[in-house]
Structures are given as structure tokens and as C-alpha cells.
Chains A and B, each alone.
Chain A
Amino acid sequence: MNIFDIIGPIMTGPSSSHTAGAVKIGHAALRLFGKKPDKAIIRLYNSFSKTGKGHGTDKALIAGLLGFAPDDSRIFNAMAEAKKAGLEAFVEFMGENNAYHANTAEIVLYHDSDSMRIIGKSIGGGRIVITQVDEYETGYTGEYHGLMTIHKDVPGVVSHVTSSLAKFGVNIAFMRLYRKTRGSQVMMIIDTDNPIPEKVQDLLSKHPQIEKAAILNKK
């Protein structure tokens, strides 16, 4: 966290957690999915569900999925903007669920036969944490530039990724691996100080053990 997470962001009202934070969750989901979704199902829980309409939480999440920033004036026309962009979005208000944080959104994104389920929470002042991506429990904040890979749980893949980053002078700030079971598949999320060049993605996608690589650069 830096001081501009506290004084900031510059945003469109009315709520930093329910509007700006929701935009950020949507945007983080878009980055993790790694491509333009053509359909999105959004489920809101707890305070997000109960006070989401008044705060424009539903619109804000869709705005994030369209790649808008929290101070974008188009947030409150997000439904129409989505239609224009070819994104079919559905929002469900789920009420209370004790399993989730007070401000939780679940987003399922689709593109052709591809899909991804993401759960994010908004923890105040516009800061967020993505707590789940498909079956992986994560702690992704979106505060840094970064990279996500899904790869086979075998020796050498991590070093291939980190040496690829080193080749382009990218410094790693945080790095986490989330594994289902030993030898199966693993998700890795790396936060970096520098933006990651597009070329890194090509370099990683060619590796036989890497199933997916998505660049998570901030705007």
C-alpha cells in the first residue's frame, strides 16, 4: 500500500469501496482473464448486494470489465457501454452469505468456450483483493504490474518465468504460487515494479508446461 491508496484514487462518486473498488475488481478480473469477455455473470454478496444499487456497484463492476478507470465518467452508462462493446452482462443480488467478506463480488467471464470464475472483495478506500480464481485461492491486490501463469507443477517452470522477466529488466516485488495438489496444476501470480513487455507473453506461451500466461500490467 502506498500513500496514494489512502489519499486517492481520484474517482467518480459516490463510494470508494462500492464504486471505485468495484471498478477495480472488474478490471482485475479482466486482466486475469486476459481477453475481452463476451459474456459476464456478476453476483453480489452482503453489503455489495444490499447497498449495491444505490452505489452503482453493478455498473462499476461492468465498467471495470470494459477496462474503464475509477474516474471514468462513462461508469454510470456502463450497461449501454457494455452493449456497444459486445459484452452481455447479467447481475444477480445474492443477499447475505457468511462465507464471504462484507463487500464481495463473484464474476464469471466467458469468451467462446473459455470461462473463468473470480471472487473479489473490496476492503475500503478503493483497495481490493481477488481471493479466488477458478479453484485457486489467491491474494491478488492489483496494486502492482504483474503476471499470472497457469502451469504444470514440475521443476523448472518458475525459473523459466523469472529468467524471462530478468531478461527484460523486470524486478519482482511479490511472488506467490497456488497449487491444487502435488504434480497437478499451479497458478502463479507475480507482482512486479516495472510493467511487463508484451514480448514476455510470447516467450512464456511457447513453453510446453505453461498452459496460460496473462500480463497484469496496471494502466
Chain B
Amino acid sequence: MFYRLQLDDIVKEAEKQKCSLSDLIKERESLETGMTIEEITKTMEEMYQVMWEDYHSGVESDNRSISGLTGGEGWRLMNYVKENANHPGGIYIKAAARAMGVSNTNASMGRIVATPTAGSCGIIPGVLITLAEEYGKNKDDVVDSLIVAAYIGKVIAENASISGAEGGCQAECGSAAAMAAGAGVHMRGGRPKQVAQAAAFALKAVMGLICDPVAGLVESPCIKRNGFGAVQALLAMDMALAGIESIIPPDEVIIAMGEVGRTMPVTLKETSEGGIASTPTGKRIAEYLENAGSNCLQQFLIRNQ
């Protein structure tokens, strides 16, 4: 099998040198891009700053999307968490609420960070901000874990895809969950090997997931899938930290995801011609938006309630 870049390679190197995975990635990126390690850290801090702002704007208000189709999903789930302080879902439900909130910000055409894409932009901030709060980690810890997340995404982009139009939702929300899972392991002090294992678990959980946006908008089912992606990432992280190992090596899982994406029918890859986009209601929503814009859609949604 031919790999352009492997997780296995950097994991082994980090384990051999007994160094931090994020330090090793920064060194490699510095060599490759000519950026200094300080510049890399500073740029990632800027990304984190935007994520932090998005999460707040996402869960603190009932922000409608530009189309009017969605809005306030993250806010609603966060309020539910606050009202049920003893909810046994704990960090899982908080991470999902934050992921959906960031995704809401995106749908309202806010300024976001593609992680790795805009359609999947909630998962990584949702997971990492929640873990940092829960485990008392500071900004530097989150930034280091984002470096790890980015490298996992780079390996996936080199060997498979991070595009819904090329590989379906598994390539977007699946990749984001894999990145968040690995980054979560790193933040929790797991071994480099466990970082790669967590990424593999998250990808396997959604292998084959299609991209079927209603009316071609990054809203339904995308916002909710960001919530699910965050939960899958956390479970993948915990599995890896528990010492569970993937039967199939992580790099082979990535190749398999790319292959599934290539053979997936084009109707299921961000063309809005399959899945929930092609249901009678999905088609009607598309028609309303096409003909009459979002005002008319509001009336349609109210009538259907």
C-alpha cells in the first residue's frame, strides 16, 4: 500500500524520541514551511481565539441561519444541560452542545475556522473546549492539541479526502471526529500510539456516512451531525485511553475511508440528490428556497409544525 504520509511514522518517532507529539509536529512543520515554531504556535492561537468566540456566539443565542431553516440547536442543548445539572451525560452532552453551537454560527454566515471544513467546524472546538474546562487545561494545552488534530487531518487529506463532494460526510465530520479524538488523547496525556488509535476508532464509527444536505445548505443534517461527531470523538478517545486497540492499523483505516468515498455514488456526495435531501420534505424545502426565499420557508416550516 502506498502512503504519502503516515500516522504510524510520526507515532513511532515520538515514542522512540520520548518527546511530545505536538513538539515533533511543530518541528516538522517548521522545516517544511519555513515558519518558526513560535509563528506556528501563534498562528494556531489565532485559530483558537476564533473558535472560542464562535462557541460563545453559538450557544448563547437562538441564532437563525441565513436561510431560516435552522438556528439555536446548540443554544437549546446547552440550556438543557444547565437545567439538568445532574444529567449523567456529563461532558458528552456539553461537547455536543458546543459543537452544534459553532455549527450554528457557521450557518448564520459567521466567521469560523474550517476544522478541517466549515461543514464540520463544530466538532473540534466542541470537544477540546469541553475537555479543557473539565480537566483544567489552559490555552497552551488546547493549542498543542490543535496541532495534533491538524496533523491527523493532514494525513487524512493526503491519503483519503476531507471533502464531502469527494468522500461524503465520513470525509468531513468523520475526519473532524478522528482529529478531535486524537487531540483529546493528547490533551489527556495519552501516548502517541493512543492518539492514532483514537483517530482510527472515530473514522471506523462513521465509515460510509453520506453527505446529503437539504437544499444544498450546510444546515440539515450537518449541524446535528456535528453534535454526534463530538460524542463519537470523546468515546473514541476514551476507548484509546482504556488501552483498546484497533484491529486494522490507523493508516489502513484512512485508506479504506478514501476508497469508500471514491466508490460512493455521486448522489450521496454533496449533490443533494440522495439521503434526506431527496425526501419529499427535503425536496419541498429546496423548492421553497429556490422560488420564494427564506420568508416563504418560515411559513412553510410553521405550517408543518
Contacts and interface: CB of A to CB of B under 8 A. Distances in A.
Interface of A: 1-17, 19-20, 46-47, 50-56, 71, 73, 76, 102-103, 122-127, 193
A68 to B, nearest CB: 13
A179 B179 CA distance: 41
Contacts of B239: none
Given A2-B32, A124-B162, A125-B162, A53 B216 contact: yes
A105 to B, nearest CB: 13
Nearest to B34: A193
B216 A55 contact: yes
A4 B163 CA distance: 16
18 contacts: A2-B29, A2-B33, A6-B115, A6-B151, A7-B146, A7-B153, A9-B113, A10-B113, A13-B118, A46-B271, A51-B270, A51-B271, A102-B166, A102-B271, A124-B116, A124-B164, A125-B114, A125-B163
Given A3-B151, A51-B213, A13 B166 contact: no
10 interchain residue pairs of minimum CB distance: A124-B163, A51-B216, A3-B150, A13-B106, A102-B165, A6-B153, A16-B114, A54-B216, A16-B117, A14-B218
A74 to B, nearest CB: 12
Contact of B116 (A6, A54, A55): A6
Contacts of A15: 117-119, 218
Contacts of A10: 46-47, 50, 111-113
Contact of A54 (B25, B46, B165, B289): B289
A17 B121 CA distance: 12
A47 B44 contact: no
Contacts of A53: 216, 290
Contacts of A76: 109
Contacts of B215: 54
B161 interface: yes
Nearest to B165: A102
A53 B217 CA distance: 9
Interface of B: 25, 29, 32-35, 40, 43-44, 46-47, 50, 65-67, 105-119, 121, 124, 146-147, 149-151, 153-154, 157-158, 161-167, 171-172, 179, 213, 215-219, 266, 269-273, 289-290
Given A8-B113, A14-B107, A125-B114, A1 B218 contact: no
Among A13, A102, A122, the most chain B Cβ lie within 10 Å of the Cβ of A13
Contacts of B124: 7
B216 A12 contact: no
Given A3-B29, A20-B118, A12 B162 contact: no
Given A2-B33, A125-B153, 8 more contacts: A5-B157, A13-B121, A14-B217, A51-B213, A52-B216, A55-B216, A123-B166, A124-B161
Given A6-B157, A14-B109, A125 B216 contact: no
Q: Among the interface residues A4, A10, A20, A73, which one has the most CB atoms of the partner chain B within 10 A? A: A4
A19 B270 CA distance: 14
Contacts of A4: 43-44, 47, 150
Given A4-B43, A17-B165, A51 B113 contact: no
Nearest to A6: B153
Given A7-B153, A125-B163, A50 B116 contact: no
Contacts of B65: 14
B154 A6 contact: yes
B175 to A, nearest CB: 9
A12 B164 contact: no
